[in-house]
A and B are shown apart, each in its own frame.
Chain A
Amino acid sequence: MTAQTQSRVWIPTNLVAIALCAFIGLAIVGIAGHAQTTALHDAAHDTRHAAGFPCH
């Protein structure tokens, strides 16, 4: 019973943490690498070209 309760709580917590971290990572790549705001584009310009991202 105890083990069952624990595993029920434990697995979703892990999945939420995993999803959250993956989302933060994707958001960083999306904003730093792909957002088309002029200031961001200019600052990240050389990095975007070198990383092979579509740039302009």
Chain B
Amino acid sequence: MFSRILVSGLFAGFAAGLIAAGLQLVFVQPILLQAELYESGQITHFGAAETGAAVAAGGGIDLLRDGLSVLFTTLIYTGYALVLVAAMALAEDRGVGITVRQGLLWGLAGFASVQFAPAVGLPPELPGSAAAEMGLRQAWWFGTVGATAAGIALIAFGKGWTARAVAAVLILAPHAIGAPHPETFAGPVPPELAGMFAGRALGVGAVAWVLLGLFAARFWIREGERAEDTPRTA
């Protein structure tokens, strides 16, 4: 069981992570690079900088920086994949079958928990955005991811109205409490750029998570079949 989860998670996470990294470099990175120019004061909001054209032109390739981004993106998606496949293993252990098509739903649920729900309170932020204290934001982020994932699991696998009511409370509570925000929004980055960044970061996340769900289910099923084919020696 351990090696089946580990192997499926590593393959699925690596594959989805590479795709996510590629999409991020093409669609998200140029916006981030522009934002850094505002953050450092090299260009200013309401100045004459042709930011839109610069974003469309892309940011070029910085081998070390982009290489590290590819490495860390694949690493993080591998982490996601191990948790996702472990959850699939738990479901199967409890008699819930997994198909590749259902992997799509698992991926969507992962996206909703890990990226979409926290983004409702703390949209993916550009360098230079005004933000509340780091520790508070991290606490809210982890709490929201955990509560949303638990809520979605209850909707998917729970029985009866009590489970659904608890799920609704879990999903809504972080937003009723509210994400930590700074007292004033006075970041140097234009809101158009910040909006574009949040939209694209979420879009890339959605694609990568759906693929992660499909890959995770595919490899999980394949590794299971392989284990059955192998004669038991011990």
- B83 touching A14, Cβ below 8 Å: no
**Smallest CB separation, B127 vs chain A (Å):** 7
Work out how many contacts link A and B, with CB atoms closer than 8 A. Answer: 133
Task: Count residues of chain A with CB under 8 A from any CB of chain B.
Answer: 34
Residues of A within 8 A of B (CB): 11, 13-15, 17-22, 24-29, 32-34, 36, 43-56
Specify which chain A residues have a CB less than 8 angstroms from the CB of B138 in the assembled complex: 34, 54
Residues of B within 8 A of A (CB): 1-2, 5-6, 9, 21, 24, 28-29, 32, 65-66, 68-69, 71-73, 75-76, 78-87, 89-90, 93, 115, 118-119, 122-127, 131, 134, 137-138, 141, 197-198, 201-202, 204-205
Specify which chain B residues have a CB less than 8 angstroms from the CB of A53 in the assembled complex: 141
Specify which chain A residues have a CB less than 8 angstroms from the CB of B197 in the assembled complex: 49
**Smallest CB separation, B48 vs chain A (Å):** 26
- B90 touching A50, Cβ below 8 Å: no
- A15 touching B93, Cβ below 8 Å: yes
- A50 touching B32, Cβ below 8 Å: yes
Specify which chain B residues have a CB less than 8 angstroms from the CB of A20 in the assembled complex: 2
Cα–Cα, bound, A36→B197 (Å): 23
**Smallest CB separation, B204 vs chain A (Å):** 7
- A22 touching B83, Cβ below 8 Å: yes
15 contacts between A and B (CB under 8 A): A17-B5, A18-B93, A21-B83, A21-B89, A25-B79, A25-B83, A26-B83, A29-B76, A33-B76, A43-B72, A47-B68, A49-B125, A51-B76, A51-B205, A56-B127
